[in-house]
Amino acid sequence: MANGDADKQLGDIVGEVTAKASLLVKEEIELAKAEVAQKAKRLGIGAGLAAVSGAFLLFFLIFFLHMLAYGFADWFDLKVWVGYAIVCILLLIFAAILGFVAMRLFKKGSPPVPQMAIDEAKKTRAAIEEARR
């Protein structure tokens, strides 16, 4: 009977280890999903900011280009085309600033891989290998 009890206990242990390993894999998959969703959200925000940047540049160009160009030409006693050139340079500066902010957000969100889940899986694997020794 003692041998039967040992086999039963061993079977219970194997079943418990299998169930825990399955649960661990499921939890790591959920962690990976959450991490990918977070990074996708960052990419979406970056894309949104890039789109807003483009719209801002377009509206800025439409509403202020003529006013500023003629203003610079009048204020500094320049030819009109010089006023337009100054306005174009200012528009490029604004575009560069907003583009830089969007680029930083893209870098924070990409590549959309679940790095935390991968690190956790490596730690789990190392712990299991250590327990085997």
| Segment (H or E) for 89 | helix 80-109
Instruction: Give the Cα separation of 115 and 34 in Å (integer).
Output: 11
Q: pLDDT digits over 15-48, tens only?
A: 888 888 888 889 989 988 999 999 999 999 999 9
Can you give the residue ranges of every domain in the chain? 33-132
- Residue 53 is predicted with a pLDDT of 94
Number of H helices, E strands in the chain: 3, 0
- Residue 38 is predicted with a pLDDT of 92
CB atoms within 10 A of CB 46: 20
User: Is residue 8 over pLDDT 70?
Assistant: no
Q: pLDDT digits over 79-104, tens only?
A: 999 998 998 898 899 999 999 999 99
- Residue 1 is predicted with a pLDDT of 47
